[in-house]
Amino acid sequence: MTNVDNTCRMVTVVVLSFPNERFDMSDFAFVVGGCVVAIAAVAMFLAYAIYGGPTGTLSKARIGEVYNFEYEQPLAGDPERYLARVLDVYTLDANSIRRLNARSKYRRNDPQFVRTSHLVTCKMPNGSVRNFYAERTKNCRKPLLAGVLFKTGLAASLV
């Protein structure tokens, strides 16, 4: 027998054998299709766990929690999406808001800018720290795996 004959036989007979059962190509295609569906389901779960998660609100946030939210910039008008870890939560009373308005030069003469009672300090994936008024957030979620991403440093590559 020549090498060509051996090669032809190996290519044409693609059947796996189990002790009591044969495994044909149609069965193989079914198993591969099932694996593809399983991998797609795991990928969708990971996307949900990183970017989705249960709904939440920054006004009830606790220190150390990670949120994914849209923040409405009153100056630009377009919301921006953020992934951030809560560093501190401040509940401002009317006197605190009045003092902030008197001391701060930030948008002092802008009638559309209104400070609200929940101010949240957050750390961004790139390491910067920002303040957000909780009442200006929408589509706020508590991602399941975002805390792990912050600890490992991978969050900066996803945003």
Which of the two residues, 70 and 151, has the higher pLDDT score? 70
Burial 80-109 (b: 16+ CB within 10 A, else e): eebbbbbeebeebeeeeeeeeeeeeeeeee
pLDDT > 90? residue 121? yes
pLDDT tens digit string along 58-98?
A: 888 899 888 888 888 766 667 788 888 999 999 999 998 88
| Mean pLDDT to the nearest integer, 14-27 | 62
pLDDT > 70? residue 29? yes
Is the whole-model pTM more than 0.85? no
The mean of the pLDDT values for the chain is 78
